[in-house]
Amino acid sequence: MNERFARQELVKICKLLYDRQLTVSAGGNMSVRINDSEYLITPSGRNKGMLEPEDLVLIDSKGKVIGDGKPSMETKFHLALYNANPDTNAVIHCHPLNCVTLAVRAEGMKCNITPEGVILLGEVPMIGYYTPGSKQLVDAVAEKASYRAILMERHGAITQGRSLEEAFNRMEELEFQAKLQLICGDVTDLPAKEIKKLSKM
């Protein structure tokens, strides 16, 4: 992907996440793969709704900054997901209110109650609480790298995708499913046969 285009697209997604209230203030971090050795990631401590393309930080596959800027403190778990999944080209980490509500309650996500949940998300694991930016958090995320979406206890959510749009769609769907779960309460999953059929779509 061309770096200039990638900067524009990532900023566009950051603003969309902010406008959709999927992230607030300086919370969360988002990244996109440019090629096998270079990535763009949001800067540390900045409001994601106010970023400009030049604010994004260019890093290499080890997390070293190429040029200027201070990358997100969560850079290492982004890289862990890219390293584990060659098809992943975008990673989004946010603190959506309903997802965080489930994460604070340590209540597992139910994504098999609607067809969209099954198709876009599948199973969504929750990892335990670890200090943001810590090696323990990176290791815990890496262990769940095969999942499209992950909840982090008392922290937030991560989605990954083959494109920024796919990663965004998964985050938006994840928050919708969390809200639906909180509204509906204790509901049953779709029939196992239907879940299997939808999973293949």
| Domain chopping of the chain, boundaries | 3-199
Euclidean distance between CA atoms 194 and 185, whole angstroms: 21
Q: Which of 172, 168, 178 is nearest to 89 (CA)?
A: 168
Query: What order of strands is seen across the sheet that includes strand 126-127?
Result: 57-60, 38-41, 29-33, 90-94, 156-161, 149-152, 126-127
pLDDT of 200 > 90? The answer is: no
pTM of the entire predicted model? 0.95
Number of helices (H), then strands (E), in the chain = 7, 7
C-alpha 40 chain-centroid distance:
15
- Angstrom distances, CA of residue 10 to CA of 55, 184, 193: 11, 34, 38
* Host H or E run for residue 39: strand 38-41
- pLDDT 10s digits, 33-58: 999 999 999 999 999 999 999 999 99
C-alpha 97 chain-centroid distance:
14
pLDDT-derived band at 1, boundaries 50, 70, 90: confident
182-190 average pLDDT score = 92
pLDDT of 25 > 90? The answer is: no
pLDDT of the residue at 122: 93
Query: Which residues participate in catalysis according to the annotation?
Result: 74
In CATH terms, the superfamily for domain 3-199 is Class II aldolase/adducin N-terminal domain (3.40.225.10)
Task: Give the rounded percent of residues in the chain with a pLDDT score beyond 70.
Answer: 100
